[in-house]
Amino acid sequence: MTQVIELEQQLIEFERTASKSLADANAHAQIEAIRQEFLGQKGALTGILRALSQIEKEDRPRIGQLANKVKENLEALYLERKTFLDQQELERKLQTEKIDVTLPGRAKKLGHIHPLTQTLNEIEQIFLSMGFTPMLGPEVETEYYNFDALNFPPDHPSRDEQDTFYTNIDRAGPAVVLRCHTSSVQVRTMETCAPPIRAIFPGRVYRNEEINARKFPMFHQVEGLLVDRDVTFGQLKGTLNHFIRLYFGKPLKTRFRPDFFPFTEPSAELDSECPFCNGSGCRTCGNKGWLELLGCGTVDPNVLKGLNIDPEIWNGFAFGMGVERLAMLKYGVTDIRHFYNNDVRFLEQF
Ligand code: DAH
């Protein structure tokens, strides 16, 4: 009997000590340690309960219940203290990490699409709507794709190093150049795709030019090619007139002036009425009332033949335009270098 009473007192004393420790603890680490010390598997309560085996069987449930009650009370106290400490910690954080939400924010500067890319996208979009597929090719090309396959005679002046950049890549066969037009991709397309073909060729091209307000040694072109049966010059005119109407956003008079390109015969230069003065003459058109926009023509049968396309069955038209030039004309930009100077005061206007 005395053993039972002793055990009861031990438990009550145990609860008092543990409660006091918990109530005094001021940090999470402390309450965790206290919990281990009193309630853990190797803790004090386990120690006390070991004595349970030495008391009478009929007394065991009572002591057992008491022990459980003590344990529950202590767990509850532990949780209470933990919540209190959590709260305290949160308050401290709120104090020390306080920010002044009334301060004006710093706006992130949003970049936007470069005017040339915008123009390129716009041109592509118009031709896409007419069923042309964009095709890409390498900027470093052999003379074969850049000139030979396009019917340029061996002594053609644009092969000159003063016009074309030659690489020092040393290899057998045709020299390696930076392409001076995307017509090279026309060749690659006719080489790999059977007609009918309806494609455009956007991309960078390189020419050995002095830099000035109108010329830059690297610029962008969009060329186009259509190969089919019974293609007419009238279809070429219709296609380009439609393009100009959509690009400048209004119908403009156009004229086709005879010109020469080795890969088209006949060839023409397309002029449009100046959209700024409607043809009456202004600074943009140099008082001519007309703008030179692009080159075009009927694909020379020699080009087709060289690429194993039978010119008795197939014919086609091609055209090529400078993206910088078209952007300058549309937006009234007077110096091509603006596109490459990365001056945000210029770029932000688009
Ligand atoms: N390749 C010419 C140039 O770079 C542009 C051009 C003219 C392309 C007539 C064509 C064309 O496809 O038919 O100036």
Q: Name the strands in the sheet holding 254-261, side by side, starting at the edge strand that comes first in the sequence.
A: 133-134, 197-206, 218-228, 315-322, 290-299, 264-273, 254-261
Q: What is the whole-number distance in angstroms between the Cα of residue 285 and the centre of ligand 1?
A: 21
Task: From 223, 213, 184, 202, select the one nearest 339 (Cα to Cα).
Answer: 213
Least-confidence region, from 90-104, 110-124, 125-139, 198-212:
90-104
Is residue 262 a contact partner of residue 152, using CB atoms and an 8 Å limit? yes
Give the residue extent of every domain in the chain.
Answer: 2-96, 115-347
Q: What is the whole-number distance in angstroms between the Cα of residue 89 and the centre of ligand 1?
A: 74
Convert the pLDDT of each residue in 221-274 to its tens digit.
Answer: 999 999 999 999 999 999 999 999 999 999 999 999 999 999 999 999 999 999
From the centroid of its chain, how far is CA 267?
38
Q: To test ligand 1's pocket by mutation, which of 296, 302, 315, 317 has the most ligand atoms within 8 angstroms of CB? A: 296
Angle between helices 323-331 and 233-248 (to 10 degrees): 50
Protein residue whose Cα sits closest to atom 1 of ligand 1: 181
Residue 100's pLDDT is 85
pTM for this one?
A: 0.72
Residue 4's pLDDT is 85
Q: Does the beta carbon of 319 lie inside 6 Å of ligand 1?
A: yes
AA letter at 222: V
Q: Is the pLDDT of residue 1 over 70?
A: no
10 Å CB burial of residue 131 (0-12, 13-18, 19+) is exposed
Convert the pLDDT of each residue in 284-338 to its tens digit.
Answer: 888 999 999 999 999 999 999 999 999 999 999 999 999 999 999 999 899 999 9
115-347: CATH topology is BirA Bifunctional Protein; domain 2 (3.30.930)
Protein residue whose Cα sits closest to atom 4 of ligand 1: 181
Convert the pLDDT of each residue in 145-191 to its tens digit.
Answer: 999 999 999 999 998 888 999 999 998 989 999 999 999 999 999 99
Convert the pLDDT of each residue in 42-83 to its tens digit.
Answer: 888 888 888 888 888 888 888 889 999 999 999 999 999 999
| Mean pLDDT estimate for the chain | 94
Residue 126 banded pLDDT, cuts 50, 70, 90:
very high
Which stretches within the chain are classed as H helix? 2-24, 28-39, 44-50, 60-96, 115-129, 143-146, 183-192, 233-248, 301-306, 323-331, 344-347
Q: Could you identify the atom of ligand 1 that is nearest to the CA of residue 263?
A: 13
Q: To test ligand 1's pocket by mutation, which of 223, 265, 299 has the most ligand atoms within 8 angstroms of CB? A: 223
Half-sphere exposure of 309 (CA within 13 A, CB side): 28
